[in-house]
Structure 1
Amino acid sequence: MILFSNTTARVAGAILASAAMAALYARGGAAWPLGFVLLVPWLRTLDTSPTLRASLLRACLMSLAFTAAAFAWFGIALGLYAQVGAATGVALLLLAAPLFQPQFLVFAVVRHLARRRHGTIVGALAGVAAWVATEWLLPKLLGDTLGYGLYPSRLLRQGADVGGSAGLTALLLLANEGVALALVNRAGGVRAFARPLALAASLPMLLAGYGLAVLSVDPGPAGKPLRVGLIQSNIVAYERQREEKGTHAVVREVLDAHFAMSYDAVVRQHADAVLWPETAYPTTFGHPKSEAGADFDREILDIVNAAGVPFVIGTYDRDSAGEYNAAAFVQPGSGLTGFYRKTRLFPLTEYVPAWLDGPRVRRALPWSGNWRAGNGARVFPLRLGDGREIPVLPLICLDDVDSALAIDGARLGAQAILTMSNDSWFSASPLGAQLHQAAAAFRSIETRLPQFRVTTNGYSAAIDATGRVLAGTRMGERTLVIADVQVRAPGRTLMVIWGDWVGPAAGAFLATLAAWSALASLPHRAAQAQAPAGHALPAPLDAAVLPPAARLGSGLLRVIARGGLLWMCVALLLDDALRTNTLAQVRMFAACFLAPEAASWCVLFLFSAKASVANGSLVLTHDARRIAFALGDIAAVRLWRLPVPRPGMTVQLASGRRYALALDDPGALAGALAAAGGPTVERRPRALMQAYAQAGLASHRSRLDHPLVKFVLLPLALAIPAFHLHQHIAYGGAFGEFYSFGLKAYLTAFALWWAAWSIGVVLSEALLRAAVETGTLLAAWLRPARAGAIRYRLKRASHAALFLGLPAWLMVTIFRT
């Protein structure tokens, strides 16, 4: 008990130490070097985790501590916005911490498994890859990542133009791993300690050297700078003011303040253009809802014409589909020239997902929004009074945490970014607004595009291509920001050329590592599968020791997953639109099959063990834990009638206690027990299910049944010629889409084709498997003695249909085309 308490205290202390450093790191300033060591105490606890469950628990605690330390401000803002109180908002955020920061959990699980199988170095690389791949695949609510904390370092942040903020996060994680490894090796002498420490120290030095090189390069000649006036009116809480004063009075007050400050910007400060914050004009522009709204629209147009410079106004747009959070481009003499519609909406406050929306949700969350999302980046010409025309990329609020939008804008020819936001809900917690501006500045570094960023009440700023704030404001002040920024056609950074590539590269690394591990385990699994019944096992068998609730839950999840596949087959046959919509198929496949199947697998994995027969005992081991039962204590061994969630057997002890073991070949373990002197398999009276179960056990898995072969390599072999034909038909050549739209579009298109064929193979396999099981069940009923042989022939026929029939169908389709 004392040892347990001491261990618990050490783990808690380490997690709290990491959280304390994270709190300082998130606040910026001189604390940015902590990013290279803040996870070290937590990593040391993971190194000493005896089991996967212990690692997962420590990851959950770290996500909770990190959320409390670095994002308590968000819980406060959330609670005040939802009118449930700051304390309730923080409590809700902490309850959702594992979902809010899921990368800790995935990192810990992948790192633990990779270290156990491949050692410390591969484990560290796999953990880093899992972290950044998770943040790429599951974009977080605020788009946050560790790399943003390096913003205060002008040198180190320049590396974002190579790998983005995700690349900086990966380097920070590697540095933390190096320091942690150095602490582990300190007892091994100076050399063992110095090597990983030197690697960790080389990473910030590498970033600093790159930053010096970038900042020392002459960007080349530039023409007349762009001078923009940013209107920070410090008018907030529109809804509350509407209730107190009425809509007309509020709009009147907002417009008067913005008109006066815009006059100052143009007449006294000689701005080339004026930028208003997000939703500064709090109604639809160009599509008035009333005569009063039409009057306000005309008044704005009159002001713009009188100013003689273009205005970009945060407002609303609408069409037959609904309303949008938008930026209106208003040109003197021409009027409204176009809208940009916000692409990344904030969940619940700006929109409610369709699967969640409904009257009950709206009643429970009266503050929830109903805006619709725009369709991606757009570049607009900003026509200045002196005849210049500058292409600009507008971004609204959460858009600026999405690297892809900024990159798409740079590819479309933008020479500056115009960002507008309403960060007023951070008024009580200015740290949130400060971090938001730092994240927005990274879009300028990644694309080398200068940025004008305006907010309702702070922080507003003019930001150059290195991320430096040329002029800015404080939180909670009414002020005008005027800045001259050099605008030129930027050089194409690696981020612009390759896109946000670090996350996909990390995912590819993990997939390769998983495939390598699976292939390396094939000889071991083959030895298990070929173990003759009634003889000693050549190696321990992979098993899962399932309590009744775990077996029931895992079995139900697997039944749901298999039923989901069959339901999807029916849906594809009946719905023509679904058959041609790959993205819809991917979403349905993920919801109906992948999610329950992954959940079932997780249950089996959590209860995984190695089963062997040694020294007159049945031995079950899981990490450091070991259970042994003397063969004389085993009263009975029964094979499961239904292989749910997989084949298995129940071992009953003389005491009456039962252990349910799920494993691929329970017959091999049962035979080994009998051969070593244990009880033989107990026959059940129900002949039909007994014959069915025996037929399944008699049919050993072939190499063609391996998931890597069936669900990765086969779809790839089918997708390559189909995609090649599509490229020739749609773009006139094998690489037509690459030449037209770039590498990202080409790879995305291929990934969709591969996904479509993968889903097709899985569905085909589901239908064939259903046919095999149905045929086996009929054989067990009609000819039980030959059920095993019939199942073997059915399996061979299903392999022929899958591995020969699908390619043949594809070739016939190609030749017909």
Structure 2
Amino acid sequence: MKQISLSTTGAVACVAASAALSALYVNGGAGWPLGFVFLVPWLCALDARRTWAGTLACAYAMSLAYTAAVFPWLGMALGRYTGIGGVAGLAILLLAAPLFQPQFLAFALVRRVGVRRYGPLLGALAAAAAWVATERFAPRLLGDTIGYGLYPSPLLRQAADVGGGAGLTLLLLLCNEGMAAAYARRKEGRRALAAPLACAALAPLLLALYGWTALQGEPVAAGKPLRMGLIQANMADYESQRREKGAYGVVRDVLDRHFAMSYDAIERQRAEAVLWSETAYPTTFGHPKSEAGAEFDREILANVNAARVPFVFGTYDRDGAGEYNAAALVQPETGLLGFYRKTRLFPLTEYVPSWLDGPVVRRLMPWAGNWQPGNGARVLPLRLADGREVPVLPLICRDDTDPGLALDGARLGAQVILTMSNDSWFSMDPQGAKLHQAVAAFRSIETRLPQFRVTTNGYSAAIDAAGTVLAGTPMGEPALVIADMPVRQPKPTLMVRWGDWVGLAGGGFLLLLAMLAILPAPRTQAQSHAKAQAGSVDDSVPAAMAFPATAAILPPAARAVSGLLRAVARAGLLAMCVALLLDESLRTHTLAQIRLFAVLFLVPEAIAWCLLRAFAAQVSVGNGRLLVERGTLRMEMALGEIVAVQPWRLPAPGPGLTLKLAPGRQWRYGLALSNPAGFAAALAAAGGPAVVDGRRRVMDVYAQARSALRRWALDSPLAKFVALPLVLAVPAFHLHQHIAFGSALGEYYTFGLKAYASAFALWWAAWTIGVVLCAALLRTGIEAVTLMAALLRPGQAAGIRSGMERAGHAALYLGLPAWLLLNIYRA
């Protein structure tokens, strides 16, 4: 990262500029493109900090400024709600800014370490990972993330079904890093700006391409749509009304208005179901606390029976553990069908944590409620008058800020999300209600489920599977929304399959980077050769390649065919990964996996291997000549004829090199061998030419970084694809035997040795396929990062490659066993 000079006043100005841009960005409308640049001034200020204290102070200042710019409405609303006043509430929120927005501190500290240890590319990626991991694991009051600011763009927000808001945040952070790097190099000429600007442009281009594809491929649901009536009664502040009219009078007024608006929705607008807002019925339903409450319950049931459509409304439930903020589903003639209990309660208003609760706290916070949290998502059947049954997922207020609840509901078979909220405390701060609705809309994008969302006094809306508000209400007035939305069982998105995975992946990436600092770095072949030339006696460090050596002497046609077969085999592995991701039945069908693995990978790989074996030869150097022997075929070449050794830029069918002869000629054969760098070093030691310096071209740098790395014993196919799957298969098979047959040898005692051995062989094969696929994905990532390093940081490409190889080893040999142990523990 280019070091720049910036005074304290300049740093403060940069923080203020980023805060001002962030306020414009989250405000919605046309300001959403600012998300790709709004952190650039702050990143420049971070780059100028030369001490840990300066970095920490800059991060603290940004968390404070961001909170003041983006969330002043929250502090004011909390102050008014608690009675301490809006200004006092805002002051308390600003004092708590590092706890409210801790991701700025994590990002800045990890960025400082990462850039200095791993270079700007991995450092920026590590910092972005720290941001999303902090948002995933640290307690989040609102579940906010900067990715939600892209909601006004129908195109870019569609990628939330892949990585949620955290995925959008990750791309925004990387784009801001690219723009900051370009700004730091602005005086170095156009060529210096090309790489960071290209990386910065990659994020919006990928989002736009994916969004266009997702919107084009959205299927039209067949069948009759669900017509829902949303009742926004605009009745808030029950407490003040209760003081004026009494508890009975408040409930009476609330029910009368909701009954009247529901009648209009059903009789005049032909709604098939009715949705009221959170706590619209401000007492317990089904468990009355008085005779008046029982009478109100009977009145609600009578109105539902008369309407002949189901009602879903916010109320309260209670049991022996306490009282719950709940949603009730009432069916005509059937009565109460079930409750959903709110899971994500608002701290210090709806509940007080048990470790903090007590008489003193209750005296200081008389407004704090005492509700109990629910136990997660619940899907209820909404039975319509025409006989249709629609599985619905109720969510209440803060529940819609948690992606996990909506994802769990989608897995349980929900076809519609019904969201109820009481946003009346945003009455004087409509920006809060607007942001809350945008966050709720992301639950529809992530699950591809339509959503009916009703609030006490705005904003209520019908939101389709793409996150678009089809019909909505203003804030602060009674309103009725009637909307038809198609219902179907959508194809599970990646978010539904994997959950909110980006933050977890970010945390895993940081752990891998931490392991890189612990694991010893492998020596490159160039380092080993230099050590040997210096007279090293370290037997563990190989010098130049020992002769004779085995290589494949490939004519152009043989190299092309074998390279194509290897490419087909690698592409087959990636295609199988996609197939397993999309096809749930394939994941549980081991025989189908084996057949697919054989066709897509084993067959082309085996043909390529046979072809390489057919051209295998022994290569040696002696008496100033290069000798190639294959059976009775013998070729010799004077080392003086070789003017250059050119490693293959494209490692197909594997690593190798080409010999260039004088004058300007090229040997028609290519040498495919496992250690091109060692061969070149041996050739140079015997009097041949040195390796051509390829730093001028990206693919040359990539080839050098790829071939210079010394292989570990862990890279042996025997260790990776035989021993590791065996180690994983044994405990998994043992657990399966206990679950399915009651003991470790249950299948053997029941069906005999053949059945037992066949079952174990299938488990071993399944784990082998899994390890191969994981290794293929890791290899794809390592090669992609190496290629990007060759483009952006050619001088550091070999070091970055070394670090990625160690990370890959840790992921494969530590990550897979850890994942298995975690699943065994859960079982």
Q: Which TM-score band (shorter chain)?
A: 0.5 to 0.7
**Structure 1 letter corresponding to 2:270:** H
Structure 2 CA distance, aligned partners of 1:730 and 1:238?
Answer: 54
Deviation at 1:509, TM superposition (A): 0.6
Q: Work out which of the residue numbers 738, 749, 752 in structure 2 matches 1:729.
A: 738
Structure 1 CA distance, aligned partners of 2:468 and 2:521?
Answer: 52
Structure 2 CA distance, aligned partners of 1:730 and 1:131?
Answer: 40
Deviations 1:164-221 (A, max 9, x none): 1100000000000000011112222211112111211121121111111111125044
Structure 2 CA distance, aligned partners of 1:294 and 1:491?
Answer: 44
Structure 2 CA distance, aligned partners of 1:191 and 1:282?
Answer: 66
**Structure 2 letter corresponding to 1:286:** G
**Structure 1 letter corresponding to 2:427:** S
Deviation at 1:513, TM superposition (A): 0.5
Structure 2 CA distance, aligned partners of 1:217 and 1:63?
Answer: 40
Match of 2:338 in 1: 338
Deviation at 1:718, TM superposition (A): 12
Match of 1:408 in 2: 408
Match of 2:183 in 1: 183
Structure 2 CA distance, aligned partners of 1:221 and 1:444?
Answer: 15
Q: State yes or no: 1:242 paired with 2:251.
A: no
RMSD: 2.5
**Structure 2 letter corresponding to 1:285:** F
Deviation at 1:424, TM superposition (A): 0.5
Distance change >3 Å, CA 724–CA 426, structure 1 → 2: farther
Deviation at 1:332, TM superposition (A): 0.2
**Structure 2 letter corresponding to 1:379:** V
Deviations 1:644-701 (A, max 9, x none): xxxxxxxxxxxxxxxxxxxxxxxxxxxxxxxxxxxxxxxxxxxxxxxxxxxxxxxxxx
Match of 1:320 in 2: 320
**Structure 2 letter corresponding to 1:95:** L
Higher mean Cα deviation, 237-246 or 408-417?
A: 237-246
Structure 2 CA distance, aligned partners of 1:252 and 1:232?
Answer: 17
Match of 1:365 in 2: 365
Structure 1 CA distance, aligned partners of 2:373 and 2:161?
Answer: 28
What SS does structure 1 have at the residue aligned with 2:337? Answer: strand
**Structure 1 letter corresponding to 2:473:** T
Q: State yes or no: 1:140 paired with 2:140.
A: yes
What SS does structure 1 have at the residue aligned with 2:317? Answer: strand
Contact 2:310 2:332 (C-alpha < 8 Å) held by counterparts:
yes
Structure 1 CA distance, aligned partners of 2:482 and 2:227?
Answer: 7
Structure 1 CA distance, aligned partners of 2:172 and 2:498?
Answer: 22
What SS does structure 2 have at the residue aligned with 1:519? Answer: coil
**Structure 2 letter corresponding to 1:431:** Q
Match of 1:646 in 2: none
What SS does structure 1 have at the residue aligned with 2:500? Answer: coil
Structure 2 CA distance, aligned partners of 1:91 and 1:394?
Answer: 35
Structure 2 CA distance, aligned partners of 1:202 and 1:106?
Answer: 25
Deviation at 1:5, TM superposition (A): 12
Match of 2:266 in 1: 266
Match of 1:34 in 2: 34
Distance change >3 Å, CA 238–CA 131, structure 1 → 2: same
Structure 2 CA distance, aligned partners of 1:482 and 1:240?
Answer: 31
Structure 2 CA distance, aligned partners of 1:138 and 1:718?
Answer: 35
Match of 2:420 in 1: 420
Match of 2:808 in 1: none
Higher mean Cα deviation, 51-60 or 725-734?
A: 725-734
Match of 1:163 in 2: 163
Deviation at 1:124, TM superposition (A): 0.2
Match of 1:151 in 2: 151
Contact 2:397 2:420 (C-alpha < 8 Å) held by counterparts:
yes
**Structure 2 letter corresponding to 1:174:** L
Match of 2:379 in 1: 379
Match of 1:280 in 2: 280
Deviation at 1:489, TM superposition (A): 1.3
**Structure 1 letter corresponding to 2:466:** T
What does residue range 87-236 of structure 1 map to in structure 2 within 5 Å? 87-236=87-236
Deviation at 1:138, TM superposition (A): 1.1
Report how many residues are paired. 546
Match of 1:9 in 2: 9
Deviation at 1:279, TM superposition (A): 0.3
Distance change >3 Å, CA 69–CA 727, structure 1 → 2: farther
Match of 2:652 in 1: none
Structure 2 CA distance, aligned partners of 1:353 and 1:5?
Answer: 46
Match of 1:57 in 2: 57
Match of 1:293 in 2: 293
Structure 2 CA distance, aligned partners of 1:211 and 1:339?
Answer: 36
Contact 2:331 2:337 (C-alpha < 8 Å) held by counterparts:
yes
Match of 1:398 in 2: 398
What SS does structure 2 have at the residue aligned with 1:186? Answer: coil
Contact 2:6 2:45 (C-alpha < 8 Å) held by counterparts:
no
**Structure 1 letter corresponding to 2:268:** R
Structure 2 CA distance, aligned partners of 1:729 and 1:332?
Answer: 48
Higher mean Cα deviation, 388-397 or 181-190?
A: 181-190
Distance change >3 Å, CA 316–CA 730, structure 1 → 2: farther
Distance change >3 Å, CA 520–CA 59, structure 1 → 2: farther
Deviation at 1:520, TM superposition (A): 4.0
What SS does structure 2 have at the residue aligned with 1:344? Answer: coil
Match of 2:471 in 1: 471
What does residue range 422-501 of structure 1 map to in structure 2 within 5 Å? 422-501=422-501
Structure 2 CA distance, aligned partners of 1:62 and 1:8?
Answer: 14
Structure 2 CA distance, aligned partners of 1:72 and 1:86?
Answer: 9
Deviation at 1:719, TM superposition (A): 11
Structure 1 CA distance, aligned partners of 2:290 and 2:513?
Answer: 61
Higher mean Cα deviation, 201-210 or 722-731?
A: 722-731
Structure 1 CA distance, aligned partners of 2:735 and 2:265?
Answer: 54
Match of 2:389 in 1: 389
Length-normalised TM-score, structure 1: 0.65
What SS does structure 2 have at the residue aligned with 1:438? Answer: helix
Higher mean Cα deviation, 482-491 or 308-317?
A: 482-491
Deviation at 1:162, TM superposition (A): 0.7
What SS does structure 2 have at the residue aligned with 1:246? Answer: helix
Deviations 1:81-107 (A, max 9, x none): 000000000000000000000000000
Match of 1:605 in 2: none
Q: What is the percent sequence identity of the aligned residues? A: 66
Distance change >3 Å, CA 96–CA 291, structure 1 → 2: same
Match of 1:781 in 2: none
**Structure 1 letter corresponding to 2:141:** L
What does residue range 596-611 of structure 1 map to in structure 2 within 5 Å? none
Structure 1 CA distance, aligned partners of 2:92 and 2:249?
Answer: 36
* Runs of at least 5 residues in structure 2 that lack an aligned partner in the other structure: 524-725, 742-758, 775-823
Match of 1:584 in 2: none
What SS does structure 1 have at the residue aligned with 2:187? Answer: helix
Contact 2:62 2:104 (C-alpha < 8 Å) held by counterparts:
yes
What SS does structure 2 have at the residue aligned with 1:350? Answer: coil
Runs of 4+ in 1 over 6 A off after TM superposition: 717-724, 731-736
Structure 1 CA distance, aligned partners of 2:298 and 2:415?
Answer: 31
Distance change >3 Å, CA 233–CA 718, structure 1 → 2: farther
Structure 1 CA distance, aligned partners of 2:216 and 2:497?
Answer: 22
Deviation at 1:140, TM superposition (A): 1.1
What SS does structure 1 have at the residue aligned with 2:483? Answer: strand
Structure 1 CA distance, aligned partners of 2:395 and 2:363?
Answer: 31
Contact 2:5 2:48 (C-alpha < 8 Å) held by counterparts:
no
* Runs of at least 5 residues in structure 1 that lack an aligned partner in the other structure: 524-716, 748-813
Contact 2:130 2:510 (C-alpha < 8 Å) held by counterparts:
yes
**Structure 1 letter corresponding to 2:154:** R
Structure 2 CA distance, aligned partners of 1:453 and 1:338?
Answer: 19
Structure 1 CA distance, aligned partners of 2:241 and 2:118?
Answer: 61
Higher mean Cα deviation, 52-61 or 274-283?
A: 52-61
Match of 1:75 in 2: 75
Deviations 1:618-648 (A, max 9, x none): xxxxxxxxxxxxxxxxxxxxxxxxxxxxxxx
Structure 2 CA distance, aligned partners of 1:354 and 1:726?
Answer: 38
Distance change >3 Å, CA 721–CA 249, structure 1 → 2: farther
**Structure 1 letter corresponding to 2:37:** V
